[in-house]
Amino acid sequence: MICPKCECEYVNGVKVCSDCGIDLIPVDEFEGNLSHPKDWVIVYTGNDLIETEMLKANLEGAEIDSIIISQKDRNLIYLGEVSPVKLLVKKKDAEEALSIINDINSTKIDDEE
Ligand SMILES: [Zn+2]
Protein backbone atom coordinates (compact mmCIF):
# COMPACT_ATOMS: atom_id res chain seq x y z
CA MET A 1 0.00 0.00 0.00
CA ILE A 2 1.19 3.49 -0.75
CA CYS A 3 0.22 7.04 0.21
CA PRO A 4 -0.84 8.97 -2.90
CA LYS A 5 0.12 12.25 -1.27
CA CYS A 6 3.58 11.82 0.23
CA GLU A 7 4.30 8.68 -1.82
CA CYS A 8 5.49 6.66 1.18
CA GLU A 9 5.12 2.92 0.90
CA TYR A 10 3.54 0.97 3.75
CA VAL A 11 3.35 -2.71 4.57
CA ASN A 12 0.09 -4.56 3.91
CA GLY A 13 -2.45 -4.05 6.67
CA VAL A 14 -1.80 -0.33 7.09
CA LYS A 15 -4.76 1.60 5.69
CA VAL A 16 -4.03 5.24 6.51
CA CYS A 17 -0.83 7.27 6.08
CA SER A 18 0.51 8.17 9.52
CA ASP A 19 1.91 11.46 8.19
CA CYS A 20 -0.98 12.66 6.01
CA GLY A 21 -3.93 10.84 7.61
CA ILE A 22 -5.34 9.92 4.19
CA ASP A 23 -6.30 6.53 2.80
CA LEU A 24 -3.57 4.43 1.22
CA ILE A 25 -4.04 2.89 -2.21
CA PRO A 26 -2.67 -0.37 -3.64
CA VAL A 27 0.78 0.11 -5.18
CA ASP A 28 -0.39 -1.28 -8.51
CA GLU A 29 -3.00 1.48 -8.73
CA PHE A 30 -0.45 4.08 -7.83
CA GLU A 31 0.93 4.72 -11.30
CA GLY A 32 -2.22 6.50 -12.41
CA ASN A 33 -2.51 8.42 -9.16
CA LEU A 34 0.93 9.90 -8.67
CA SER A 35 0.54 13.33 -7.14
CA HIS A 36 3.48 14.48 -9.24
CA PRO A 37 3.58 11.97 -12.11
CA LYS A 38 6.00 14.11 -14.08
CA ASP A 39 8.55 13.77 -11.32
CA TRP A 40 8.81 10.03 -11.82
CA VAL A 41 10.52 8.18 -14.64
CA ILE A 42 10.83 4.51 -15.46
CA VAL A 43 14.47 3.47 -15.22
CA TYR A 44 14.02 -0.27 -15.62
CA THR A 45 11.45 -2.68 -16.98
CA GLY A 46 11.51 -6.44 -16.81
CA ASN A 47 9.61 -9.62 -16.16
CA ASP A 48 11.38 -10.63 -12.97
CA LEU A 49 9.95 -9.07 -9.81
CA ILE A 50 12.71 -10.55 -7.61
CA GLU A 51 15.42 -9.00 -9.77
CA THR A 52 13.60 -5.66 -9.80
CA GLU A 53 13.29 -5.76 -6.02
CA MET A 54 17.03 -6.40 -5.85
CA LEU A 55 17.64 -3.29 -7.96
CA LYS A 56 15.27 -1.30 -5.73
CA ALA A 57 17.24 -2.42 -2.66
CA ASN A 58 20.47 -1.26 -4.31
CA LEU A 59 18.92 2.13 -5.10
CA GLU A 60 17.72 2.42 -1.51
CA GLY A 61 21.30 1.73 -0.43
CA ALA A 62 22.26 4.81 -2.43
CA GLU A 63 19.38 6.75 -0.80
CA ILE A 64 17.36 6.88 -3.99
CA ASP A 65 13.58 6.53 -3.57
CA SER A 66 12.02 4.09 -6.00
CA ILE A 67 8.69 2.41 -6.66
CA ILE A 68 8.02 -0.95 -8.27
CA ILE A 69 4.85 -1.20 -10.31
CA SER A 70 3.89 -4.73 -11.19
CA GLN A 71 1.13 -5.52 -13.61
CA LYS A 72 1.44 -9.27 -13.11
CA ASP A 73 -2.08 -9.71 -11.84
CA ARG A 74 -3.71 -7.26 -14.17
CA ASN A 75 -5.36 -7.79 -17.52
CA LEU A 76 -2.68 -5.88 -19.41
CA ILE A 77 -0.36 -8.87 -19.36
CA TYR A 78 -2.82 -10.82 -21.43
CA LEU A 79 -3.01 -8.02 -23.95
CA GLY A 80 0.61 -8.38 -24.96
CA GLU A 81 2.27 -6.36 -22.22
CA VAL A 82 5.80 -7.77 -22.28
CA SER A 83 7.35 -5.81 -19.44
CA PRO A 84 4.96 -6.19 -16.53
CA VAL A 85 7.43 -4.98 -13.89
CA LYS A 86 8.54 -1.35 -13.88
CA LEU A 87 10.96 0.44 -11.59
CA LEU A 88 10.39 4.17 -11.17
CA VAL A 89 12.58 6.81 -9.56
CA LYS A 90 12.25 10.54 -9.19
CA LYS A 91 13.54 12.45 -12.19
CA LYS A 92 16.35 14.12 -10.27
CA ASP A 93 17.66 10.68 -9.29
CA ALA A 94 17.25 9.09 -12.71
CA GLU A 95 20.81 9.55 -13.90
CA GLU A 96 22.35 8.15 -10.74
CA ALA A 97 19.82 5.32 -10.65
CA LEU A 98 20.58 4.36 -14.23
CA SER A 99 24.32 4.25 -13.60
CA ILE A 100 23.77 2.07 -10.53
CA ILE A 101 21.54 -0.29 -12.52
CA ASN A 102 24.07 -0.42 -15.35
CA ASP A 103 26.86 -1.17 -12.86
CA ILE A 104 24.83 -4.03 -11.39
CA ASN A 105 24.04 -5.44 -14.81
CA SER A 106 27.64 -5.25 -16.04
CA THR A 107 28.89 -6.83 -12.81
CA LYS A 108 26.47 -9.67 -13.40
CA ILE A 109 27.89 -10.29 -16.87
CA ASP A 110 31.44 -10.26 -15.45
CA ASP A 111 30.47 -12.86 -12.87
CA GLU A 112 29.20 -15.20 -15.52
CA GLU A 113 32.41 -15.11 -17.50
ZN1 LIG B 1 1.39 10.33 3.31
pLDDT tens across 47-89, in order? 888 899 999 999 999 999 998 887 655 544 455 545 578 898 9
Q: Are residues 94 and 48 in the same domain?
A: yes
Do 53 and 61 touch, CB atoms closer than 8 A? no
**CATH code of residue 58:** 3.30.70
Domain that holds residue 93: 37-112
- Domains held by the chain: number: 2
Do 85 and 68 touch, CB atoms closer than 8 A? yes
Q: Are residues 16 and 66 in the same domain?
A: no
Interval between CA 2 and ligand 1 midpoint (Å): 8
pLDDT at position 54, please? 94
Q: Are residues 56 and 104 in the same domain?
A: yes
Interval between CA 51 and ligand 1 midpoint (Å): 27
Q: Are residues 26 and 44 in the same domain?
A: no
Helix (H, G, I), strand (E, B) or coil at 31: helix
Interval between CA 99 and ligand 1 midpoint (Å): 29
Do 22 and 3 touch, CB atoms closer than 8 A? yes
Q: Are residues 92 and 61 in the same domain?
A: yes
pLDDT at position 109, please? 63
pTM of the model: 0.58
Q: Are residues 53 and 81 in the same domain?
A: yes
Interval between CA 67 and ligand 1 midpoint (Å): 15
